[in-house]
Amino acid sequence: MSELKEVVTKDGSISLRSLMFQENFHSLEGALKETEIKFTNPSDLKRFQDNSLNVLDICFGLGYNSASLFNQLIGQNSFINWYALEIDKKPLEYSLRNKLFQNLWNPKVIKIFKSLSQNYQYKDDFFECDILWGDAREAINNIPGNTKFDLIYLDGFSPQKCPQVWTIEFLAKVTEKLNPNGYLITYSSAAAIRKTLRNFGLNIFNIKPNLITKNFWSNGTVAIKKISEKKSQSNLYFEKLSSMEEEHLLTKASIPYRDPGLSSKTKDIINRRVQEQLFSNLETSKKWRDKWGMTK
């Protein structure tokens, strides 16, 4: 689908750059590092020790998020029912050709990935996996309706580049599939995404950055339907939104992406939002940034 260029990140792990989207799959700081910080650690996978879990990986890409997930679950006797949505087969094919990628994981992870590439599924006593190829807005309908997920990873290209997986309409479908105690995890801290998820009744948390600066205050978002105050406060990896982040949700940046028929093109979704922002009385993002001493 897209033209792809190899990128070696600072931690030595490989990634890709999409020439069509003009965006990297991962931060240049490290593909593996980003996966661990933004997805694996906040998942708190130890809570599934000797138990089962359902996982949905939206925008599977090279497979880092699920490879890291599988890698940890292999050692803790967990049964996983896993689905992935992905439109482009090339990144997975690339991962399976790349020794640097393969050497990061337990050999079983690569065995699963090979089966997903060839047969679109994998099954053994502990893993039941299906990858659904195509537009995620359509493919999500092929997941059995009664399936609810304990973890949902949302890792598409940024909302400005690929708004199709960040709209109210698509996120409504996604959140419908989240278990009451399930975690929806994304690298995005965009106000439009957080506000949309909150409007669906989810509790919104910030994935803590390792080092907080004026322009770097988040590693992403965790959204949960039900979580006790005690559990949210004791979590090592995410926390309640700060006053600054709460105010972000009151600006024009919080105006959502809309795709009424779940079939709109990128430019139409973007233009629809721009028009809504123009006529909005909400505070501008610039005023918010100025108040908190940020540069764009």
pLDDT for position 235: 83
Question: Can you give the residue range of the structural domain that contains 243?
Answer: 29-291
Q: What is the dihedral of CA 58, 153, 203, 194, to 10 degrees?
A: -60
Please state, in angstroms and rounded to a whole number, the distance separating the CA atoms of residues 193 and 179.
Answer: 19
> Is the residue at 256 inside a domain?
yes
pLDDT for position 56: 98
Q: Render pLDDT for 145-172 as a digit per residue (tens, 0 to 9).
A: 999 999 999 999 999 999 999 999 999 9
> Is the residue at 4 inside a domain?
no
> Is the residue at 210 inside a domain?
yes
The bridge status of strand 127-133 relative to strand 23-24 is unpaired
In 3D space, the residue among 187, 197, 230, 160 whose CA is nearest the CA of residue 65 turns out to be 187
Q: Render pLDDT for 230-255 as a digit per residue (tens, 0 to 9).
A: 887 778 899 999 999 999 999 999 99
pLDDT for position 13: 93
Average pLDDT over residues 272-290: 96
pLDDT for position 229: 84
**pLDDT-above-70 percentage for the chain:** 98
pLDDT at residue 266 greater than cutoff 50: yes
- Position 211 confidence tier, pLDDT thresholds 50, 70, 90: low
pLDDT at residue 128 greater than cutoff 60: yes
Q: Render pLDDT for 185-194 as a digit per residue (tens, 0 to 9).
A: 999 999 999 9
pLDDT for position 75: 85
In 3D space, the residue among 34, 53, 50, 31 whose CA is nearest the CA of residue 42 turns out to be 34
pLDDT at residue 138 greater than cutoff 80: yes
Q: Render pLDDT for 42-81 as a digit per residue (tens, 0 to 9).
A: 999 999 999 999 999 999 999 999 999 999 999 898 999 9
> Is the residue at 183 inside a domain?
yes
> Is the residue at 20 inside a domain?
no
pLDDT for position 1: 42
> Is the residue at 110 inside a domain?
yes
Q: Report which secondary-structure segment, H or E, holds 272.
A: helix 266-278
User: Where residue 258 sits, what CATH number does that domain have?
Assistant: 3.40.50.150
Count of domains for the chain: 1
Residue 285 CB partners (closer than 8 Å, separation 6+): 191, 248, 251, 252, 253
Please state, in angstroms and rounded to a whole number, the distance separating the CA atoms of residues 101 and 13.
Answer: 7
In 3D space, the residue among 8, 29, 6, 31 whose CA is nearest the CA of residue 16 turns out to be 6
> Is the residue at 251 inside a domain?
yes
> Is the residue at 6 inside a domain?
no
Q: Render pLDDT for 19-38 as a digit per residue (tens, 0 to 9).
A: 988 999 999 889 999 999 99
For residue 296, how many other CB atoms are within 10 A of its CB? 6
Please state, in angstroms and rounded to a whole number, the distance separating the CA atoms of residues 12 and 30.
Answer: 7
